[in-house]
Amino acid sequence: MKLLVTISILIAVCSSAPPSMIPGDNSHYVEGVSRYVWMPDGEDVPHLVDLEEPIDEDVLYGRNGANNQYWLFTRRNPNNAQILRNGNAGSVTNSNYDRNRPLKVIVHGWNGDGNSKVNTAVTSAFLAVQDCNVIVVDWRDLANRNYVTAANGVPGVGQFLGNFLVWLINTAGGNWNNVHLIGFSLGAHVVGNAGRTAGGRPRRVTGLDPAGPRWGGNSNALNRNAGGYVECIHTDGGLLGIFDPIGHTDFYPNGGRNAQPGCWVSTCSHSRAYDLYASTVRTDHLVGRRCNNLNEARNVQCSGSNLRMGNGVLSKSGSGLYGLRTGDRWPY
């Protein structure tokens, strides 16, 4: 009985303990217990988030996935987006979209937009090595609200994205075996919902440190049903990202947790996922070793078969947990 009382007191203390006022310092955070956590926006600037903040229902139901914007980039327009509009065939036929090219779809996370670093880093990486269509999804209307509201809006954003992709391929052509969805943080769960809405037809889905707070055990989270091959790269597991494996293949660079090499602010580890991924698209140089269990992955004690982390190869497949070490600066 005394033990139960002690545990209850500890939980209460942790839950009510004030967060660090040093931007980006999450040393106070206890997964599933703490109310406050620092999260980076689309430019990696930390913001203090209240995980119990009330949902803004007017925003949630008034600014849902119907407000998604779809920005097309190709080698013919690598820096200036062409806007594709769901239901408007002319917006596609008058663009540089080519049904014979691979299609890459990138989705930002909380408090981001189409110009966020994840989009620019991954888009430029793809266009440097592949002649492809890149669609950046801008869902800022919801993403820029409080975190709880944005998280609750993720399924709707993903469903609208999935329906848009079905319409795009049915209208303008394309091949689902050439479709690759990539999402960072909350965006990872957006692409999960999009892939499931499209019947799991995307050939490949990549989750970049899928958001953790409010997503453990959530049926709307990214899972293996989103596409033919679902891969996750975990860099801040147990804090801003999910640590448990949720894909066909889950990579745990440097143990998959905070702090990643070269990161001096807690929130940096979360954002490191897309930097690592962009680097692998360009160079395909990071190789994981298969782990027997999650503990081996956490401690980077894996010695099984090799599998390259990330990259943009559409035919890629695999399964299991993989650990590896990286450098502390680009290209890692």
Among 47-61, 112-126, 266-280, 305-319, the minimum mean pLDDT is found in 47-61
The pLDDT of residue 1: 37
The pLDDT of residue 8: 36
DSSP 177: G
- Is the CB of residue 176 less than 8 Å from the CB of residue 227? no
Residues 171-199 have a mean pLDDT of 98
User: Which CATH code fits 37-324?
Assistant: 3.40.50.1820
The encoded tokens of residue 45 equal: 């600037």
List phi, psi (to 5°) of 232: -125, 145
The pLDDT of residue 58: 83
- For 257-312, the pLDDT digits (tens) are 999 999 988 899 999 999 999 999 999 999 999 999 999 999 999 999 999 999 99
Higher-confidence residue of 56 and 110: namely 110
- Is the CB of residue 208 less than 8 Å from the CB of residue 116? no
Element (H, E) at 69: strand 69-74
**Cis before 331? omega within 30:** yes
Give the integer Cα–Cα distance in Å for 313 and 330: 21
Residues 85-93 have a mean pLDDT of 97
- Is the CB of residue 288 less than 8 Å from the CB of residue 271? no
Burial class (CB in 10 A: 0-12, 13-18, 19+), 76: exposed
- Is the CB of residue 44 less than 8 Å from the CB of residue 286? no
Domain regions of the chain by residue span: 37-324
Give the integer Cα–Cα distance in Å for 286 and 299: 17
- For 121-175, the pLDDT digits (tens) are 999 999 999 999 999 999 999 999 999 999 999 999 999 999 999 999 999 999 9
Give the integer Cα–Cα distance in Å for 316 and 207: 15
Residue 2 pLDDT greater than 50, yes or no: no
The pLDDT of residue 9: 31
The pLDDT of residue 57: 87
**Percent of the chain residues past pLDDT 70, beyond the cut:** 94
Closest CA to 238 of 269, 275, 274: 269
Tell if the pTM clears 0.85, that is, is over it. yes
Residue 204 pLDDT greater than 60, yes or no: yes
Residue 319 pLDDT greater than 70, yes or no: yes
- Is the CB of residue 40 less than 8 Å from the CB of residue 270? yes
Residue 3 pLDDT greater than 50, yes or no: no
Residue 10 pLDDT greater than 50, yes or no: no
Query: Annotated catalytic sites, by residue?
Result: 185, 209, 285
The 3-state DSSP class for residue 138 equals strand
Residue 4 pLDDT level (bands cut at 50, 70, 90): very low
The pLDDT of residue 22: 87
Residues 185-202 have a mean pLDDT of 98
Residues 63-72 have a mean pLDDT of 88
